[in-house]
Amino acid sequence: MESILSNLLLLAWLLPLASFCVILFFGPRLGTAGRGAAFVATGAIVSGFALSLTALILWVGTHGISGAHHADSADTHAADQTLSPDSQVAIDPSAAAVHLVAADHGDAHGGDHGHGRVGPKAAYFGDWYTLVDFDRLKITIGYYIDALTVLMFTMVTLIASCIHFYAMGYMHDELHDVTDHEVTLSNGEHLKRPGRYHRFFQYLSLFCFSMLGIVVAGNIAMTFVFWELVGICSYFLIGFYIERKSASTAANKAFIVNRVGDFGMIIGLMALWGSLGTFSFGGEKNDAGDIVKPGMFAQARAETDHYALKTPEAMVESARQMGAEDPEHTGHVLLIVAGLGIFCGCVGKSAQFPLHVWLPDAMEGPTPVSALVHSATMVAAGVFLVGRFYPMFTPEVLLTIAIIGCITLFMAATIAITATDIKRVLAYSTLSQLGYMMFALGVGGWVAGMLHLITHAFFKSLLFMCSGSVIHAVHTNEMTQMGGLRRKMPITAYTMLVGCLAIIGAGVPTLVGLSGYYSKDAILAQALHFGKNNAAWDVMFYVAAAGAAITAFYMFRLWFMTFIGQPRDPSRYDHAHESPRVMWMPLVVLAFFAIFVATPADIENFTDPTASPMVQLLEQARPDGTGIDFSGQLAGVMMPAEHGSHDEEIHLAAGMIAFGTAMFGLLLACCLYWWRILDPEEVRSMFAPIYRFLRNKWWFDELYDAIFIRPTLFCGRCIAQCDRGAIDWLIDHLAIWMRSFTAGFDRWIDRLFVDGLINWVAQRTYALGIWLRKPQTGRLRQYVVFIVVGTMAMYLLATFGLTN
Amino acid sequence: MDNPTLWPLTALVFLPAAATLVLLLLPRDNHELIKRVSLFVTVIVFVATVIMALPGITGAAHFSLDADAVAEMQAVFQVSWIPSFNIEYFMGMDGISFPLLVLTAFIGMLAMGASWPITKHVKAYCVLFLLLETGMLGVFLALDFFLFYVFWEVMLLPMYFLIGVWGGPRREYAAIKFFLYTLLGSVLMLIAILMLYFNSDLRQLSDEQLVAAHVVPDQQSVAAWRSANPADGAAADVPRHTFNILALQQLGQTTDQFSNSVFTEGGKSIQWWAFVLLFIGFVIKVPSVPVHTWLPDAHVEAPTPISMILAGVLLKMGGYGIIRICYPICPEAAYDLAWVVCFIGVVSMVYGAFAALAQKDFKRMVAYSSVSHMGYVVLGLGVWSAVAPSFNADYWKMGMNGAMFQMIAHGISSAGMFFLVGVIYDRVHHRELDKFGGLFAKMPVYSGIAILIFFAGLGLPGLCGFIGEVLVVLSAWNFSMVLAIISAFVVILTAAYILWALQRVYLGPEYKGPHPEALTPITPREWSIAIPLCIFAIVLGVYPQSLFNYMSPSVDHTVDALVEWQQRQAPAALAEDDDVQRENADRDRVLRRDVESKSKGERQQPAPAQVRLGWNRASHDALPEPESRRAAVTQAGKG
């Protein structure tokens, strides 16, 4: 089974890469004007979907929908309990830092909800390829397959397939030469350029490959590798219209802001690597398939501890090596650092506060990209990683995650109220929904968060594609120039309505609803549950509930402004038309999933949200040991077990609040934009300061420009100046001083001393010559006298001097 | 002595130099012929190195990947050259030098191919170019310190003229700056070489070490060697000096030859000074802040192929020198100064990245990116994270391997970047970043290649830059968290300056500078230079093990030897004291120092809470403790 599954997913993963390579080398030659590129890419991703679906079916066939087989759950559950005494030992209160009050709670629910999973969850892991190998330290490309992996694979490939089809229609203009009306050249004309149809599909294929790489990743280093690769794909796709300055700037911004998150992620990786010595989730195996080094999860939550989170021994050891006074404590801090670091990467990728600024700008890319990359998949990768890495997060880190998610969901929702660019409204909505997911994970709602990830992927890609369909029809993003389009493009309008209803979590409380109803209720219920256990933090529940009201308001504001009322720009309205079939078919498919993806399949338990197959599959994928209450060592926070939120009392309260707030927001939108009871202009002038604040996106861009970008550039200039002004100045002046020193040396020593000596000797010699010249008179008699005197002197000297 | 590899390796190194004689006979005006002959020579050298690298081919000079041979020096030969000073013509290669040798031959070949636009004094250019190549190849193969120094200097002069004659407008300034900087390094190196030479004594080595260092060919001839160099009797005071790098390594690691103080009793030891001098000499070449300012000027003024050589090969000599010479010969000083080495590396990374961000000249920006990227190399070499009691060197090995990988990767990506800048400079004759734009539309293939190479520099996974950077940064954590975090921070700056440059040059609607008509698609010649670089960038990024197979046994061997040295310094008794010392961590430091130094373990203490965390380390180790340490060293050396 393991080899079948891993090979299926491997193939599904590599097909887009093959497609990328084919288009890279043969792109323009595939069909007329590269039309064939779309077929290659679409073929690859659709095959990938088929393979993923096969894998999903195989998975369900082997492991059932819920970990404990559902049909005869009561019996099996009892049998499980007798078979594995571990489940009883799990109630042992002595397990450090863990309150296991949930154990019998689980029993109460276990029978009918599949909470009764006993023992470790089903997961396959292994390596395909070794990237680097230094004996004990290894970085590999491998897989970690559990229900979540299979589910995400299917979801990503399904949405990507829809978007590939959609893009065939949307990018149609790129098949021939394009005049870009947003780019004006220096001669005043608009830019004309050849189409880049094949290149778009080339990038999409690379993106699919990278995204699936994150999903299948068997270790966090591999996650990081593909994390960067999706980043670069996002860079290419945002900057697809490379001639537009705004697009290339947005692409740079996206990549650099993501790198800020990656900076944190690298710190997390270092903290893990430096102490644990492995990046593997499941464990490193040798050729025989035996685990030679336990994975990160096993080190943090050992089976012998009943999967309770403990600081890994290796981290304590590492702290001891550092000479920490209290290794236990320092080791725990190290674990927190690792968790926060990894989360930092997720903050960047999922555009959470304070790194959210790149996502709205990323809407410069073509709309299918916004639908695929910047709403359904890549930005959700951050949430996915938090979910994947969940066993390693301490309650302190989870609390941070919850706070960040809570801030993001509220802030983004408020900005969305005032945005008028249809894609930006959706972008802020994406931010807000990602905030919900993070928030859910942070308050202990693993299934709630992951469920929202999946439902959101469907309805948000649907919403984006509907907006793309509208933009395709009216050639503008501004909602202020739309209106009444419902009559021109009904399919788009009503599929989008489905998306809007799904995102606000519409449904009949306690009965049935669209997909968003299930996920949002689960989040709010868990938030309420968390608030009840941590009174200091219960404000977050109210923020999330308020966020739900705002969501309903801005989504229906968007829908009403676009599709209802009179056309605001008649010329655009007249030209509008329903999109071609290749574009609206995917809308219908996605609308179907947006409605039903989380619906309970069991007729008998139709009103029970946890009876949905999706929820049960996720429950099956829940990381070991996270289904129980546990509290932090440093911060006084208690993470309540998720099934606590399924209590009638909590769930009903949360469901009613969610319903009430959504209805409130919806009605407010109706008053303002449909029934026109209130005039939006008046409301706006009434709250002018707030409007300006929101309209300027809380001034984040300006703030970051002032405190990060300018100082960084200034610092760069200073350093460059330091090079020229200080170091080179010193070098140059050293040279100059050296030259003047040698010049002085030359002058004083050479000229005065050496030359002076030479000259002095010469002058003396000359003077001597002058002096000796005096006897040279030329008179013979004088010479004869000299000779005689000389001869006499020599004679006397020879006679007396030598004889003595 | 039987030297089967003498002629193959000699031929490899001196082939370019010999070919200059042929060039001199060619007609001066036939530029094409001269260039073709030169290119042919560089191709032959490259093909020869590739054949040496290919597994499965046997021969004297083949680089063997056999398990028992791969970590050691291979293809060694030695011939006495200047016997009165024990100078030998002594060469060999291992996993550290061999990849650099291949890189040299590869970049040399591509740079010669990139030399076609040169039209001034072509013959002289090619002659100097080939001499330069001989120098570079020789540096990586030399195992005799004197020979190493000779090749090092041989390289310097052609480079000076290549920049000074064929360079840009400020070429004289750049050339003299390059020359003086490098000469300063060489002089310091020469002093260190002589210090080591006159303090070395081969007779201290054991029989096995003599064989391992290739002082004697085999075990049988040791006795003869010993009788020729008696350690007692009348000749006892006549030391047997050596320039043999391998022997110097053994001396540095297992004896106290280099541990005597230099100036005053209790001052810094010989190896401390030698390390500092050598390190400055090498780090000028790397180059690291603050001795890096020759690089931007030399790069900007040098012609494109010379920039490629500079960035691709010359900078690597600094790193090579550190790993081959500084660390193994002076382990004690290296351990003391590990923190300084890492600090310099990190400062270079940050400084270079910031400076690159502010540049307006395309080539200057790439030059500063080299400073930043070579900082990773210095950091990776320096992260000596093996400490008592476990002496776990895994992370340091990873760092060193990462550093070596980064050298090769940077050789490919930066040579590629300089080449690509040169391609457009040849067309429009300017490099102002703000006066480009829209090249993607005019030169699509070129722009695609450029984006790939620049992303390799940015450290994108799947391309060569990623592996080296990530290994170095990950390994830094166990040495110092502070430095590791700062080095991780550089990824943001790197992304910023590279993406910003790409945006200004390749993206945008239209070209904003002069000569827009000259922007024609790249020619097959340019294409055939850029594509091999792209291929290597991808292959090394996707299959790094292909390089590590050659490299890491030798790197690990080097690290193991150093850690063994370290363990010898910390006798087993110390490990038992360890707990006591940890408890005393907060008590009177001086007192503790005394106790410990009596137990002969001063340097190997984990220095609780400080060794990894940083700053206090330098001051901790700066205090003199000569007597005890020397005693320890002596004992360990004899033991």
Instruction: Note whether B4 and B60 are within 8 A (CB).
Output: yes
In whole angstroms, what is the distance from residue A726 CA to residue B290 CA?
10
Which residues in chain A (723-762) have CB-CB distances under 8 A to chain B? 723, 727-728, 731, 735
Residue A295 is encoded by which pair of tokens? 């994975």
pLDDT tens profile A566-606: 888 888 888 888 888 888 999 999 999 999 888 887 777 77
Query: Which band of pLDDT confidence, cut at 50, 70 and 90, is reported for residue A44?
Result: very high
Choosing from B154, B185, B201, the residue where a domain stops is B154
Instruction: Note whether B601 and B611 are within 8 A (CB).
Output: no
Which residues in chain A (673-732) have CB-CB distances under 8 A to chain B? 712-713, 715-721, 723, 727-728, 731
pLDDT at A424: 92
Can you tell me the ipTM of this complex?
0.86
Cis geometry, peptide bond prior to residue B287 (ω within 30 degrees of 0): yes
pLDDT at B503: 93
B-chain residues within 8 Å CB-CB of A244?
509
> What values do phi and psi take at B84, rounded to 5?
-65, -25
- Please report the DSSP string for B201-255 in residue order: -GGGS-HHHHHHTTSSSSGGGHHHHHHHS-SSGGGGG------BHHHHHHHHHHS
pLDDT at A118: 55
- Alpha carbon A229 to its chain centroid, in Å, reads 11
Residue B121 is encoded by which pair of tokens? 């004094």
In whole angstroms, what is the distance from residue A469 CA to residue A578 CA?
8
Mean pLDDT of chain B: 85
B-chain residues within 8 Å CB-CB of A233?
none
Whether A350 shows a pLDDT value over 60: the answer reads yes
Query: Which domain, by its residues, includes B619?
Result: 567-638
pLDDT, mean of residues B116-142: 93
Chain B interface includes A784 (CB < 8 A):
no
What contacts B206, CB < 8 A, 6 or more positions away?
Answer: B254
Cis geometry, peptide bond prior to residue A354 (ω within 30 degrees of 0): yes
Q: B486 vs A268, A271, B107, B493, CA distance in Å?
A: 14, 14, 32, 11
Chain B interface includes A232 (CB < 8 A):
yes
pLDDT at A800: 80
Whether B463 shows a pLDDT value over 90: the answer reads yes
pLDDT, mean of residues B500-529: 90
Q: Do B354 and A715 touch (CB under 8 A)?
A: yes
Residue B171 is encoded by which pair of tokens? 């070429």
Which residues in chain A (532-591) have CB-CB distances under 8 A to chain B? none
pLDDT at B99: 93
Q: Do A323 and B608 touch (CB under 8 A)?
A: yes
pLDDT, mean of residues B574-588: 46
Single-letter amino acid code for the residue at A776: Q
Question: Hey, of A139, A141, A227, A270, which one would you mutate to test binding to chain B, going by the most B CBs within 10 A of its CB?
Answer: A270
In whole angstroms, what is the distance from residue A517 CA to residue A678 CA?
28
pLDDT at A774: 83
Helix (H, G, I), strand (E, B) or coil at A477: coil
Distance (Å) from the C-alpha of residue A266 to the closest C-alpha of chain B?
7
Helix (H, G, I), strand (E, B) or coil at B391: coil
In whole angstroms, what is the distance from residue B426 CA to residue A777 CA?
81
Whether A632 shows a pLDDT value over 80: the answer reads no
B239 found inside a domain: no
pLDDT at A207: 94
- Name which of A684-688, B365-369, B589-593 the model is least confident about: B589-593
| Alpha helix segments (H runs only) across B90-170 | 97-113, 122-141, 145-166
B125 found inside a domain: yes
Q: Do B357 and A713 touch (CB under 8 A)?
A: yes
B393 found inside a domain: no
B49 found inside a domain: yes
Whether B320 shows a pLDDT value over 90: the answer reads yes
Residue B273 is encoded by which pair of tokens? 């000074």
In whole angstroms, what is the distance from residue B521 CA to residue A187 CA?
24
Whether B321 shows a pLDDT value over 60: the answer reads yes
Query: Which band of pLDDT confidence, cut at 50, 70 and 90, is reported for residue B571?
Result: low
pLDDT tens profile A77-129: 333 333 333 433 333 333 333 333 333 333 334 333 444 455 678 888 988 99
Whether A298 shows a pLDDT value over 60: the answer reads yes
B370 found inside a domain: no
pLDDT, mean of residues A705-712: 91
Helix-helix angle B362-382:B394-428, to 10 degrees: 170
Whether B582 shows a pLDDT value over 60: the answer reads no
B462 found inside a domain: no
B585 found inside a domain: yes
pLDDT tens profile A731-787: 888 889 988 998 888 888 878 888 888 989 999 999 999 988 887 788 888 889 989
pLDDT tens profile B403-441: 999 999 999 999 999 999 999 999 999 999 999 988 988
Single-letter amino acid code for the residue at A214: I
Reference A548, options A418, A655, A691, A620; nearest CA is A655
Q: B121 vs B29, B118, B126, B264, CA distance in Å?
A: 9, 8, 9, 54
Q: Which of A232, A248, A262 sits opposite B491 (nearest CB)?
A: A262
Query: Which band of pLDDT confidence, cut at 50, 70 and 90, is reported for residue B586?
Result: very low
Q: How many domains does chain B divide into?
A: 2
pLDDT at A68: 47
Choosing from B112, B136, B154, the residue where a domain stops is B154
A-chain residues within 8 Å CB-CB of B401?
132, 134
pLDDT at B44: 94
Q: B156 vs A765, B116, B127, CA distance in Å?
A: 48, 23, 14
pLDDT tens profile B257-316: 788 777 766 778 888 999 999 999 999 998 898 899 899 999 999 999 999 999 999 999
In whole angstroms, what is the distance from residue A392 CA to residue A371 CA?
31
DSSP state of B514: S
Helix-helix angle B464-476:B481-505, to 10 degrees: 160
pLDDT at B136: 94
Residue A538 is encoded by which pair of tokens? 């219960």
pLDDT at A301: 86
Whether A73 shows a pLDDT value over 80: the answer reads no
Choosing from B133, B154, B175, the residue where a domain stops is B154
pLDDT at B72: 83
- Note if the pTM is more than 0.80: yes
In whole angstroms, what is the distance from residue B152 CA to residue B190 CA?
11
- Name which of A64-73, B264-273, B521-530 the model is least confident about: A64-73
Q: Which of B394, B484, B492 sits opposite A137 (nearest CB)?
A: B394
b/e A786-800 (16+ beta carbons within 10 angstroms → b): eeeeeeeeeeeeeee
pLDDT tens profile A481-525: 888 888 889 999 999 999 999 999 888 877 788 888 989 989 999
pLDDT, mean of residues B454-460: 93
B208 found inside a domain: no
Tell me what percent of the residues of chain A surpass a pLDDT of 70. 93
In whole angstroms, what is the distance from residue A67 CA to residue A56 CA?
14
pLDDT tens profile A449-473: 999 999 999 999 999 999 999 998 8
pLDDT at B639: 37
